Structure 1
Amino acid sequence: MRRLPAVLVSAVLAVALAGCAGSAATGSPPAASAEESCPQASVPLSDLDLVDDVRAVTGGSTACLSSQAIDPVDDDSAPQLPVTVTDSEGRTVEISDVDRILPIDISGTIASTVFALGLGDQVVGRDSSTRFAGTEDLPVVTKTGHTLNAEAILELAPTVILTDTTIGPKEIRQQLRDAGIAIVVISSDRRLDTTDELVTEIAAALGVPRRGAALIERLDTDLEATRAEIAEVVPADVDDRARMLFLYVRGNANIYYMFGEDSGADSLIDAVGGVDVAAEIGWEGMKPMTAEALVAAKPDVLVMMTDGLESVDGIDGLIERIPAIAETPAGAHRRVIDMEDSEILSFGPRSADVIAAIARALYAPASGSASGSASDPAPSEPSEPAT
């Protein structure tokens, strides 16, 4: 399958998630636990109140995870060190100590993978997007959503840093290398079908390949089970399936993007049994939206990041700012599914949970919390993407 260059995907995601950095950087976890805010998230999809016609649903719904916790793999084999790896930038890196790990990227995916490998106790800091249970007290080392704070990092004295090109700048990474810290740059390609490779890279760098293999087996099993559960409720006739489009917005910055083929969002839509309308019109990657493309796509459902929806004052504000949406079925039905910015594209240990959450919001919207009356959180202006 054709893939967009990882640096392009990383650049857009860096801009995308910068807007949620302001609140996350404070270190505050979500106000309520997943069990309190999403009580039916653990109920099998088939046991929920499913809609009769997924294309005729009106109003917004929020996709939420069944748990904010990351379960470590059932394997406590000791790290085999030292280990030498070649990272995604072609650098040869030797890691001899994993007692103080600093995992940092734009989505918190690397950190969640380290915790899933059972090495959470060795993590000494976090990025502003890492907000799952057990990370609340870790110091934040990013000034914004994707800017590294060298001083804060050096104070933590990490023995190994795992990062990718979604966070930078690269000059800071080099400064940290010059300080003698082992830095491994992990691949930035985030999709459902690259999760195994992500785990393999991280497990190899930390000297725990056996744990990595066990985690991959678990994740693959979970993903297969979730796909099977969703398949049971997907309409048999393609014409009856929801026509879906991932729309990224930052209202205060006047940024409006459509995510198309090979953006990662397409794999989410495929996984929940939706029709990826961006693919139908030949929309590739992540590009600024046009009214013509939006109307031509004729989506029934718009999928968005929660902070993005809030940045335009909810569904009503979205339609007001982008009049072309009113000309689509999604606009006519005010049909939007939103999900937390740091979760929706965080492919990794939570991949199965993410698609299960979107499926619940799509096929059983009453099981989630309603959106569409969001307030304006005044997201920060996007800055230059990391390299």
Structure 2
Amino acid sequence: MFKKARITAIALGTAAMLTLTGCASWDDTSATNAALQQELQDGETVDQATATGVAKIENLAEVEPITDSASPALPVELTDADGHDVVVEDVSRIVALDLYGTYTKTLSGLGLGENIIGRTVSSSEESLKDVPSVTAGGHDINVEAVLNLNPSLVIVDHSIGPASAIDQIRAAGVPTVVMSPERSINTIGQDIMNVAGVVGLPEEGEKLAERSEKELSEAQEAIAGIIPEEPLRMAFLYARGTGGVFYILGSEDGTSDLIESLGGVDVATESGVGAASPASAEALVELNPQVFVMMNAGLESTGDIAGLLDRPGVAQTDAGKNQRVISLPDGDSLAFGPQTGEMLLRAAKALYLGENEGNN
């Protein structure tokens, strides 16, 4: 359910192979990130041995566009990750679909936010609140809903599906580009540039990639200065409702990238969890994390902290005993896109300074 597609990268001339060498210099960190870094530097850390409670990060700032006058160089001819040759001639009406909401954030950062006409529930940016979601249950593409929007381009990957739905959209004559992002800390810049290449904005892609990587590096440096000598042991739980959708996520979902960037130890990856595995009582007790990492909608759907503690095994862990959860926005927690630096800073502030900053 959660495994990322590992398919041959798209080919679009040199766009997919761009590096950051020689990019235009980006000297400014966003005001939001700079303020968060200063708060981490000046703040007083809490005693992790006695820390308790749920810290919920509500929303991140909107991605600041690289330009307010994007002028895509079209057409773009490419072979997508499924091996289909695609010609992109029009980016005025884009449907951007992935489980993590990464593509809408990247497109907004490239200056094409107003061109997005369809999204998934994970793209929860305030600027897109009136843009229709075309997925059911977050994961399943509603083909009719997509076609009714009359898109000029669909950007999608296999984090959602089914594959037959993507085939139907393509068969209806809609230019459809299937991506195969790595979605990792180390490939944020390349994943951004690949999307930029699809929409004919390679120079803007380089600039957005450089800015995003710079903010990530600065965030990691700031966090490294406040992490405790004994790293927190964390596990990422994925829940939907009060039934059987309750999993421990592992390395294949990027959890170790997230947790290690926060200065913690991903106990699931440490124990060999790769693909998502059932969060049974036995598995949770064996892992015994000090902190659970969750998505906001997942924690809410399972009944918040009270409902989570009712699940077998949760209350027997150190995290459960201390009711210790860091809850992140669904569309940002594992997206590894332009806002990763800010997300890490907000999460670190909640973990290490004990400040539940919500929408601040």
Instruction: Quickly name the TM-score band, shorter chain normalised.
Output: 0.7 to 0.9
1:238-289 deviation digits (Å, cap 9, x = unpaired): xx22111111223422222111223211111000101221233222231112
Corresponding residue to 1:191 among 171, 184, 187: 184
- Structure 1 moving runs of 4+ over 3 Å: 40-43, 74-77
Are the structure 2 counterparts of residues 6 and 126 from structure 1 closer, same or farther at C-alpha, using a change threshold of 3 Å?
Answer: closer
Contact 1:81 1:96 (C-alpha < 8 Å) held by counterparts:
yes
Give the conservation status (yes or no) of the 8 Å contact 1:54–1:241: no
Deviation at 1:188, TM superposition (A): 4.7
**Amino acid of the residue matched to residue 207 of structure 2?**
A
Instruction: Give the 5 Å matches for 1:352-363.
Output: 352-363=341-352
Match of 1:292 in 2: 282
| Match of residue 63 from structure 1 | 57
Distance 1:285 1:150 in 2: 28
Change (3 A) 1:117 1:176: same
The Cα offsets for residues 56-83 of structure 1, whole Å up to 9 and x where unpaired, read as 311211134442x121114846211111
How far off is 1:128 after superposition? 2.5
* CA 73–257 in structure 1, closer or farther in 2 if over 3 Å, else same: same
How many corresponding residue pairs? Answer: 331
Q: CA deviation at 1:41?
A: 6.1
Aligned counterparts of 1:145 and 1:58: Cα–Cα separation in 2 = 31
d(CA) in 2 for partners of 1:169, 1:263: 19
| 8 Å Cα contact 1:231/1:273 also seen in 2 | yes
Alignment of 1:303-318 (within 5 A): 303-318=293-308
8 Å CA contact 1:55, 1:241 repeated in 2: no
Q: Is the 8 A contact 2:109 2:208 kept in 1?
A: yes
Alpha-carbon separation, structure 1, partners of 2:203 and 2:222: 29
**Within the alignment, does 1:47 sit opposite 2:42 as a pair?**
yes
Aligned residue type for 1:329: D
Report the CA distance between 1:88 and its aligned residue. Answer: 1.6
Q: Which residue of 1 aligns with 2:208?
A: 215
TM-score, structure 2 as length reference: 0.84
Secondary structure of 2:242's match? Answer: helix
SS of 2:155's equivalent in the other structure is strand
For residues 102-117 of structure 1, the aligned pairs below 5 Å read 102-117=95-110
Matched position secondary structure for 1:365: coil
1:101-138, Cα deviation, whole Å (9 max, x unpaired): 22122222111111111112222222222221321222
Cα pair 1:177 1:183 within 8 Å, conserved: yes
Letter in 1 for 2:294: M
CA RMSD of aligned residues (A): 2.4
User: Match of 1:365?
Assistant: 354
Report the equivalent of 2:4: 6
Give the AA of the match of 1:6: K
In structure 2, how many angstroms separate the alpha carbons of the residues matched to 1:73 and 1:188?
A: 21
Unaligned runs of 5+ in 2: 7-31
Taking the aligned partners of 1:217 and 1:96, their CA distance within structure 2 comes to 27
Give structure 1 stretches of 5+ with no counterpart: 9-34, 371-387
Name 2:233's counterpart in structure 1.
Answer: 243
Q: TM-score, normalised by structure 1?
A: 0.78
Q: Tell me if structure 1 keeps the 8 A contact 2:70–2:110.
A: no
Deviation at 1:183, TM superposition (A): 0.4
State whether structure 2 residue 75 is matched by structure 1 residue 82: yes
Is this contact kept in 2: 1:48–1:367, CA < 8 A? Answer: no
Deviation at 1:349, TM superposition (A): 1.3
> Distance in 1 between the 2:141 and 2:60 partners?
31
- The reply to whether residue 255 of structure 1 matches residue 248 of structure 2 is no
- Letter of the aligned partner of 2:252 in structure 1? D
Identity of aligned residues (%): 37
**Who is 1:30 aligned against?**
none
> What CA distance in whole angstroms lies between the structure 2 residues aligned with 1:281 and 1:143?
33
- Please say if residues 113 and 348 of structure 1, whose CA atoms lie closer than 8 Å, have aligned partners that are also in contact: yes
